[in-house]
Every structure is written in structure tokens, then in C-alpha cells.
Amino acid sequence: MTDWLDDIKWTEDGLVPAIAQDSVTGRVLMFAWMNRESLAMTVEKGEAVYYSRSRQKLWHKGEESGHTQKIKSIRLDCDGDVILMSIEQTGGIACHTGRESCFYKEFVNGQWQAVDDVIKDPKDIYE
């Protein structure tokens, strides 16, 4: 029943990179890692569940902030080693800095510049 998980080329650490893209705007919102269990839970719940490498545990995105990511579709790349999810971002905020996307720094004039506004103060997100 879980053959589809065997189609994935996991890293030596048993992980696969996962990209979350907004299903409406097409904006790339974040990038994180998944292990077998988190990907299986993502499919089961219909919400993104990552694996936190720093905390070494499952990370149901939005469990603290409420900013869950509802799965619209899941894709796998040609090499079978990267996951792309089309998601609906609850609250319109994917980044822990309170911004829509984690990719808010743009390379301008030889520097990384924060070009997107903070939608909500993180202090008000993680109370």
C-alpha cells in the first residue's frame, strides 16, 4: 500500500527536499525536508508535515502558528528525489518572519535585500 514511498530516492539520512508553492498565486512559499513518515502523514492529513532536521522530529506546519498548508496536489521530479506541493496557505503567511513567503530577500546591486513586507508581527503569531 505504500509502494509510492519506495519510488522516492531518499537521501542517506532518509529525507527528501520538499517545495511548497501557492496553488493560487504560483508563488514559491517555502522549502523544507520530509522523511517517509512525514510524507505519508502529509498525504493522510491533506496538510504539509515536514521533518525538522534541527529539532529531529516531525513538524506539522502551522501546529503553533495556525498557518497550516492544505495540499492541493503533490508532484515528484524526474529523478524521484524532490517533492513539489501545490498548497493553500492558511493565513497567507508561510514564513516564520510573518511574511507570505520565506523567499523575501532579493539579490539587488550585489546584496540580499528584504523586498517583501511583514504581514504580521511574529510576536503576534507565536504567542
Give contact residues for a second copy (rule: CB under 8 A).
1, 3-4, 7, 17, 19, 21, 25-28, 30-31, 43, 73-80, 82, 84, 95-97, 99, 102-107, 110-112
Closer residue to a second copy in complex, CB, 21/68:
21
Q: How far is the CB of 12 from a second copy (least distance, A)?
A: 12
Amino acid at position 101, single letter: S
Query: Where are the strands (E) in the chain, listed by range?
Result: 15-22, 28-35, 49-52, 57-60, 69-76, 83-89, 105-108, 111-114
Our CB check for a second copy shows the closer of 58 and 76 to be: 76
**Cell numbers describing residue 19:** 517545495
